[in-house]
A and B are shown apart, each in its own frame.
Chain A
């Protein structure tokens, strides 16, 4: 028997934004795959299957009280660490990175799931720790450890983008739950002074990699080339775009990774400024509605979890859109719901499911226990 209050408290606008973004994503993937090679265009179909599966998972996530997750967190965390270790040993290697675990024809990227698992674990930790007057340095050792383990495992794959995202999410959550000023300044100072030290420890080829990461023009054959081609694609869309299925940059294969990391370039080229702004506004709504879930939650676990999830989606957005628009280094991070990626779709929609779950159960606290 479904409680009527679940329905009245359900965040329909959030679901609507997510469905709209997913639809635009599939539409765009159809174009990205269209006539790129003259061969069968199947990427959008696969994305549809993944979205369907993710939808089912989302419904399952809605069916139980999210607060139980606080208790499951250690097991979720342990499970995600195990898959991350497994991928290092039996993972599939694609273009130099060992990121994928295969179960028959199903291929999964454990690092995607690890992001959500880490957010859940952090939220659960902060909830149970419940420091009132802001976290000190000592209190932060445990959350740092929680993030460091998956961080190192993902760096090993190597997947620099995803591992850096984990650090961003940790920093955001720590700022949200509150940190003492002293601790904040110490960390900031420590971070800034350790950079030259770490730099001196790096080997020459590692320095080179970091340099071409920060200044793509120093890597004119790789990321530098991709960055400029992406800017040309976006800019050439002008106000109204070149029209659906008519983007020349993507159709002529000038754009790299046009299904995944540079999917937004394809969209911006074909739909122009108007389309791009629409997409950006949809994401803006997604972030604001997510933040609303966090702040309107009546209890801490829900607030922390919702905030962590929003932070995770937000940083994906910043890094990916920043890269496509030439504001940030070229790092392989998917744009949630627009980039092709089964693991990313599952993780994103599961996260959205959790947000909806937190939102629709906020009334349960109104009576008090």
Chain B
């Protein structure tokens, strides 16, 4: 282009200025050239004539010689396309155990082109399929704009008896076809439902997008969770065949066949046995259990309870079913591991402790006095231990979760230094997991409060924040990263779900590597002091986390009880006397073994009571399973009491 524009001024100008007249310059043919051009022209004309002669001959052949044959074929319209969807890839756990797979299922379809009397046929089918004729009509009407040779899906996932029945009467019902297609099946029922995510029918808008280019209308795609994140990897590539059918719609011959291709398998870092134990321990409760290997960030369990029914989503939920899920007080829909935001309660004392050590606002050995009360400003802040802890140095303070000690730490540190360490531990921002809609939690500062509420910060609020009460909000995953960083010497790992992606023929397509996002701003020496304190929480006589003690392995952890409301009226009451939505959240974060930790865990139980009594046993169950499984089947029986019973697949239920 530049080249052309460059030579333009002189040579390319064809306007010639002769006096006052503007004239067009002309380059005519030389007489010698003209002859040559005429020869070329003749050759070209011959070529054109040949091409048109070919068209003429071809039309003659198609319309006159073969005309009758094609007319017959057009009257019978016997060519059909049968699609075969590509099965979605499996999801497996870290030991290769299949968790989610595709199984064959039968569906009944209708090809309008082959139907003689659609009213009669639908009535007949409705009695065979045990569905109302109106519901079948609805499907036919919905597809009225589709070509008549395309099958319309009438009934999905038909059981084997009905298939046999239809097969028997099929010759009386031209146009009815039975199709086999892969269907999602959840081997362990609804286990880890939020992590996997449910499937839903693709909509018209998505069909046009790049992500779903191998998907056809009516197929299911990942709607959330890993099914959505890895849609492109999991989705199979549909195939099909072009067939000739007879008047009854039966296949006479196959003209072409493209076999469908399965999607890739996804191997997770998840451990199905641990996951099952975690979910069983949470039975009937609402909350989250999430565990990972602190040495690399690989997720071992990921439970948001109660689970959703993945199977139900495959058929599409009715309006009532949706309303039931949305209004359920246990809130089954959100993934509480990353979408549940709670006050951290006393688990936050880990951060206050780290900040106090790093900023040297106290000598860890220096005792303070806890009387059970901490007067500040014109208020009195209470310790959860009304009688007071007496003389408390740092180790005892964390072991017994003394509020007064940490009130004082908070006062000495100030809100901004606390916020700095909270952020250093990854709070206040998402952990950047692959799943969607991750919440970032909240680390409050005076600037934030001024902006949000238009009122200045109160010193007393710093006191509350130091023990994780107040404006602070964290997700269970964020607390897991905090305890993991304490355990592994300060590294904040990116939570990793997927070990590798493997093609159906067993080739590893992608292997995932651990990612360290950042390091916490705490020295190794101080992390050691914190780990020592957390070991005391579980193992020392007056520690609050005794319910998580294991006989074989030293566990370190921290309890937390997050107040939902600060109502003195409820303080002394039995938990069952308090309305559900005002009950405290129970927290427990833990790691084990204290020397060289291999597993870190965060448990949150919504509206249930104390962390030490409610959440710690859940963590204990998971840790116990982890270490008894590690010890192997030869280990003493008492280490293996939590054996896993595999529930049947979706077929059996």
- The answer to the question of B240 belonging to the interface, with a C-beta cut-off of 8 Å to chain A, is yes
Chain B residues in 8 Å Cβ range of A321 = 55
B4 close to A125 (CB less than 8 A): yes
A239 close to B63 (CB less than 8 A): yes
Q: What CA separation (Å) do A38 and B41 show in the bound complex? A: 49
DSSP majority for the A interface? helix
- The answer to the question of A9 belonging to the interface, with a C-beta cut-off of 8 Å to chain B, is no
Chain B residues in 8 Å Cβ range of A220 = 81, 240-242, 255-258
If A236-B70, A291-B45 touch, whether A77 touches B1 (CB-CB below 8 Å) is: yes
- The answer to the question of B581 belonging to the interface, with a C-beta cut-off of 8 Å to chain A, is no
- The answer to the question of B311 belonging to the interface, with a C-beta cut-off of 8 Å to chain A, is no
- Closest-by-CB residue of B relative to A300 is B27
Q: What CA separation (Å) do A125 and B7 show in the bound complex? A: 11
Q: Which residue from A130, A232, A300 sits with its C-beta under 8 Å from B74? A: A232
Q: Which residue from B63, B71, B81 sits with its C-beta under 8 Å from A273? A: B63
Chain A residues in 8 Å Cβ range of B213 = 96
Chain A residues in 8 Å Cβ range of B62 = 231, 234-235, 325-326
Q: What CA separation (Å) do A121 and B52 show in the bound complex? A: 29
Chain B residues in 8 Å Cβ range of A38 = 144
A300 close to B56 (CB less than 8 A): no
Q: Which residue from A225, A249, A252, A276 sits with its C-beta under 8 Å from B81? A: A225
From residue A85, how far is it (CB to closest CB) to chain B in Å? 12
Q: Which residue from A37, A65, A318 sits with its C-beta under 8 Å from B51? A: A318
A301 close to B51 (CB less than 8 A): no
Interface size class of B (residues with CB under 8 A): 35 or more
Chain B residues in 8 Å Cβ range of A280 = 52, 55-56, 59
Interface residue stretch chosen among A25-33, A67-75, A104-112, A193-201: A67-75
- The answer to the question of B54 belonging to the interface, with a C-beta cut-off of 8 Å to chain A, is yes
Interface size class of A (residues with CB under 8 A): 35 or more
From residue B340, how far is it (CB to closest CB) to chain A in Å? 39
- The answer to the question of A351 belonging to the interface, with a C-beta cut-off of 8 Å to chain B, is no
The A-contacting residues of B in range 6-62, CB under 8 angstroms, are: 8, 11-15, 23-30, 33, 36-38, 40-41, 44-45, 48, 51-52, 54-56, 58-60, 62
Q: What CA separation (Å) do A104 and B643 show in the bound complex? A: 66
Q: Which residue from B28, B60, B67 sits with its C-beta under 8 Å from A300? A: B28
- Closest-by-CB residue of B relative to A93 is B208
Q: Which residue from B4, B63, B255, B258 sits with its C-beta under 8 Å from A237? A: B63
Chain B residues in 8 Å Cβ range of A219 = 256, 258
- The answer to the question of B113 belonging to the interface, with a C-beta cut-off of 8 Å to chain A, is yes
- The answer to the question of B79 belonging to the interface, with a C-beta cut-off of 8 Å to chain A, is yes
- The answer to the question of A260 belonging to the interface, with a C-beta cut-off of 8 Å to chain B, is no
Interface residue stretch chosen among B145-153, B456-464, B491-499: B145-153
Q: Which residue from B24, B48, B55 sits with its C-beta under 8 Å from A65? A: B24
Interface string of A283-325 (1 = CB under 8 A from B): 1100110010011001111010000000000100010010001
The B-contacting residues of A in range 113-154, CB under 8 angstroms, are: 121, 124-125, 127-128, 130, 132, 142, 145-146, 149
B71 close to A238 (CB less than 8 A): yes
- Closest-by-CB residue of B relative to A302 is B26
- Closest-by-CB residue of B relative to A230 is B62
Q: What CA separation (Å) do A325 and B59 show in the bound complex? A: 7
B1 close to A254 (CB less than 8 A): no
A229 close to B256 (CB less than 8 A): no
From residue A330, how far is it (CB to closest CB) to chain B in Å? 14
Chain B residues in 8 Å Cβ range of A95 = 208
Chain B residues in 8 Å Cβ range of A318 = 51
Q: What CA separation (Å) do A139 and B51 show in the bound complex? A: 30
If A299-B29, A318-B51 touch, whether A273 touches B64 (CB-CB below 8 Å) is: yes
- The answer to the question of A178 belonging to the interface, with a C-beta cut-off of 8 Å to chain B, is yes
If A74-B5, A299-B26 touch, whether A233 touches B81 (CB-CB below 8 Å) is: no
Chain A residues in 8 Å Cβ range of B36 = 178
If A65-B24, A314-B48 touch, whether A221 touches B258 (CB-CB below 8 Å) is: yes
The A-contacting residues of B in range 231-245, CB under 8 angstroms, are: 239-242
A235 close to B66 (CB less than 8 A): yes
Q: What CA separation (Å) do A268 and B55 show in the bound complex? A: 12
From residue A258, how far is it (CB to closest CB) to chain B in Å? 11
- The answer to the question of B75 belonging to the interface, with a C-beta cut-off of 8 Å to chain A, is yes
A234 close to B27 (CB less than 8 A): no
- The answer to the question of B513 belonging to the interface, with a C-beta cut-off of 8 Å to chain A, is no
If A252-B77, A253-B148, A291-B44 touch, whether A300 touches B29 (CB-CB below 8 Å) is: yes
The A-contacting residues of B in range 69-111, CB under 8 angstroms, are: 69-71, 73-75, 77, 79, 81, 83
Q: What CA separation (Å) do A40 and B600 show in the bound complex? A: 65
- Closest-by-CB residue of B relative to A66 is B24
Q: What CA separation (Å) do A252 and B30 show in the bound complex? A: 59
- Closest-by-CB residue of A relative to B242 is A220
From residue A95, how far is it (CB to closest CB) to chain B in Å? 8
A74 close to B71 (CB less than 8 A): no
- Closest-by-CB residue of A relative to B67 is A238
- The answer to the question of A41 belonging to the interface, with a C-beta cut-off of 8 Å to chain B, is no
Q: What CA separation (Å) do A78 and B5 show in the bound complex? A: 10
- The answer to the question of A365 belonging to the interface, with a C-beta cut-off of 8 Å to chain B, is yes
- The answer to the question of A342 belonging to the interface, with a C-beta cut-off of 8 Å to chain B, is no
From residue B202, how far is it (CB to closest CB) to chain A in Å? 15
From residue A141, how far is it (CB to closest CB) to chain B in Å? 10
If A149-B1, A254-B77 touch, whether A303 touches B37 (CB-CB below 8 Å) is: yes
A239 close to B1 (CB less than 8 A): no
- The answer to the question of A217 belonging to the interface, with a C-beta cut-off of 8 Å to chain B, is yes
- The answer to the question of A343 belonging to the interface, with a C-beta cut-off of 8 Å to chain B, is no
From residue B619, how far is it (CB to closest CB) to chain A in Å? 49
- The answer to the question of B645 belonging to the interface, with a C-beta cut-off of 8 Å to chain A, is no
Q: Which residue from A218, A298, A325 sits with its C-beta under 8 Å from B28? A: A298
A176-B40, A220-B257 given; name 10 further pairs at CB < 8 Å: A71-B14, A132-B30, A224-B255, A234-B59, A238-B67, A248-B74, A248-B75, A273-B60, A288-B48, A291-B48
Instruction: Name B residues whose Cβ lies closer than 8 Å to a Cβ of A.
Output: 1, 3-5, 8, 11-15, 23-30, 33, 36-38, 40-41, 44-45, 48, 51-52, 54-56, 58-60, 62-64, 66-71, 73-75, 77, 79, 81, 83, 113, 144-149, 208, 213, 239-242, 255-258
Chosen A-B contacts, 18 in total, with CB atoms closer than 8 Å, are A71-B15, A220-B81, A220-B255, A221-B239, A224-B256, A229-B79, A234-B62, A235-B70, A236-B73, A236-B74, A239-B67, A252-B113, A272-B63, A273-B64, A284-B52, A291-B45, A314-B51, A369-B24
A-B CB proximity, top 3 nearest = A220-B256, A235-B70, A220-B242
